[in-house]
Amino acid sequence: MTRLEALQTVYSRLHDRIVVTIMGAVAAELQSIGHRPNFFYLQHAMGLASSMGLGIALSRPDRQVIVLDGDGSVLMNLGGLTTLARYRPKNLVHVVFDNESLLSVGGFPTATSTGSDLAAIAKAAGVPRTTTVRTIEAFREAFDEALAAGELASVVAKVEPVGPSAFVTGLGLLENRFQFQRYLANAVDPDPAR
Amino acid sequence: MGEAAEWFRIRDAADMSPVSTANSRLVYDALKACGVRLLSALPETWLVHLIRLAEEDPDMTLVRLAKEEEGVGISAGAHLAGVKSAMLMQNHGLLASINGIVSCAQLYRIPLLMLISHRGEFGERDPWQTEGGAVTEDILRALRIPSAFLEHPDHVARRIAQAQTLAYASNKPVALLLRRDLMFEES
């Protein structure tokens, strides 16, 4: 499975949910499918996308938050998994695209290429729901189950180490940031009974 | 050790320490008066009362961190979601957070209210704290982060409010350095 295929297969689910991505290929590929005002791309600060997702999830319990992370970024903030697990927001789904490499900076292998298991690490950190998937069908199913589960979930999707040819997009960083903030300010709970 | 057991251990340690309860309360009340509803913290000796106050306050979301840099992301998320926050850390936590401050808070113009215990100043007894104190102010200057001391109870509330005002006006991080004279009661 490629990350782009995985993003395409769940794109319709992102329509009314808060999405925070990491930098590089994830941000560029999601934008290539279609940017929305409820998407925020953290184009640096590797490791902190999950922390931002936690901050949003705790601040807006009425909204579901999806973090689209990567193996290189998660490995830079493994402690953050313990913080996520400690507060285990019910409205947060943590997707980790694991291509076992630092693709955006030359494809050097990360520690997941030599056996480090991010779903097992998340589970041991205390994340209540974790899984690793390797096919599009399994990813779609795991993603939908995580959305419906009502508890903190980590979905590690093993993907091929391929990505876009360029990472800079036409969307300015601050344009994205202020648009996203405005979206959150105006966003009302789509299902107040939840 | 469970959360409750941990809490009692911290409480007992806090009761025996010469960290100022009254001035910690002053700082906490000032943060509340500014509308801060989320505090991220990594415990250190001078911050024990502040963290305890946050934990006992049902209107405050306390996020205990594994490493201080996480707090930058959490505060950024809270800000974009419309919640006022502050970070509590030691100056070594500031050192550990620099990439997050630069490449999240500064790059994305996030107002960040950082309360930093300024260890390693005159009077410091712990040898391991002495290097951090010597570089903290230069680091803040190099990062172009406006900062001020909290050293006397009389100006605590006003300076915290002013720091937050500047953070929001500039959409940038600001720092308040909690000094020994304010936080520590010793003979």
Give the nearest chain B residue to A47 (CA atoms): B70
CA-wise closest residue to A120 among A75, A156, A79, A160: A156
Residue B1: per-residue pLDDT: 46
Residues of A whose CB is below 8 A from B80: 40, 52, 56, 177, 180-181, 184
CA of A63: how far to CAs of A123, B15, B101, B139, in Å?
Answer: 24, 40, 26, 38
Domain-by-domain residue ranges, chain B? 17-183
Tens-place pLDDT, residues A112-130: 999 999 999 999 999 999 9
Subunit contact A48:B109, Cβ cutoff 8 A:
no
Residue A188: per-residue pLDDT: 75
Name the band, by pLDDT with cuts 50, 70 and 90, for residue A11: very high
Subunit contact A80:B70, Cβ cutoff 8 A:
yes
Tell me the shortest Cα–Cα distance from A142 to chain B, in angstroms. 25
Subunit contact A56:B82, Cβ cutoff 8 A:
no
Name the band, by pLDDT with cuts 50, 70 and 90, for residue B3: low
Residues of B whose CB is below 8 A from A49: 73
Query: What residues form DSSP beta bridges with B116?
Result: B89, B177
Q: Please give the average per-residue pLDDT across A150-170, as a whole number.
A: 95
Residues 6 or more apart whose Cβ sits within 8 Å of residue B124: B130, B133, B180
In terms of DSSP bridges, do strands A101-102 and A65-70 run parallel, antiparallel, or are they unpaired? Answer: unpaired
Tell me the shortest Cα–Cα distance from B51 to chain A, in angstroms. 16
Give the nearest chain A residue to B101 (CA atoms): A45
Subunit contact A59:B107, Cβ cutoff 8 A:
no
Tens-place pLDDT, residues B48-101: 999 999 999 999 999 999 999 999 999 999 999 999 999 999 999 999 999 999
Give the nearest chain B residue to A86 (CA atoms): B64
Residue B12: per-residue pLDDT: 56
Chain A interface mutation, best of B60, B74, B79, highest count of A Cβ atoms under 10 Å: B74
DSSP A170: S
Q: What CATH number labels B17-183? A: 3.40.50.970
Tell me the shortest Cα–Cα distance from B186 to chain A, in angstroms. 34
Tens-place pLDDT, residues B120-162: 999 999 999 999 999 999 999 999 999 999 999 999 999 999 9
Question: For chain B, what is the mean pLDDT?
Answer: 93
Tens-place pLDDT, residues B23-41: 999 999 999 999 999 999 9
The residue written with tokens 């502050």 in the block is B86
CATH class of the region A3-186: alpha beta
Name the band, by pLDDT with cuts 50, 70 and 90, for residue B187: low
Name the band, by pLDDT with cuts 50, 70 and 90, for residue B11: low
Distance between CA atoms of residues B104 and B108, nearest Å = 6
Subunit contact B72:A77, Cβ cutoff 8 A:
no
Name the band, by pLDDT with cuts 50, 70 and 90, for residue B186: confident
Subunit contact B69:A50, Cβ cutoff 8 A:
no
Nearest CB to A54 within list B77, B80, B107: B77
Residue A106 has pLDDT above 70, yes or no: yes
Provide the ipTM.
0.95
Residues of A whose CB is below 8 A from B64: 83, 86
Tens-place pLDDT, residues B90-131: 999 999 999 999 999 999 999 999 999 999 999 999 999 999
What's the token pair of residue A125? 């950190």
DSSP element (H, E) containing B67: none
Subunit contact A55:B74, Cβ cutoff 8 A:
yes
Residue A86 has pLDDT above 70, yes or no: yes
Give the nearest chain A residue to B78 (CA atoms): A55
Residue B5: per-residue pLDDT: 63
Domain-by-domain residue ranges, chain A? 3-186
Nearest CB to B73 within list A48, A59, A177: A48
Residue B7 has pLDDT above 60, yes or no: no
Question: For chain A, what is the mean pLDDT?
Answer: 95
Cβ–Cβ < 8 Å for B43, B10? yes
Name the band, by pLDDT with cuts 50, 70 and 90, for residue A105: confident
Residues of A whose CB is below 8 A from B100: 45, 48
CA of A147: how far to CAs of A71, B1, B164, in Å?
Answer: 21, 32, 36
Subunit contact B63:A173, Cβ cutoff 8 A:
no
Name the band, by pLDDT with cuts 50, 70 and 90, for residue B16: low
Tens-place pLDDT, residues B162-184: 999 999 999 999 999 999 999 99
Residue B8: per-residue pLDDT: 56
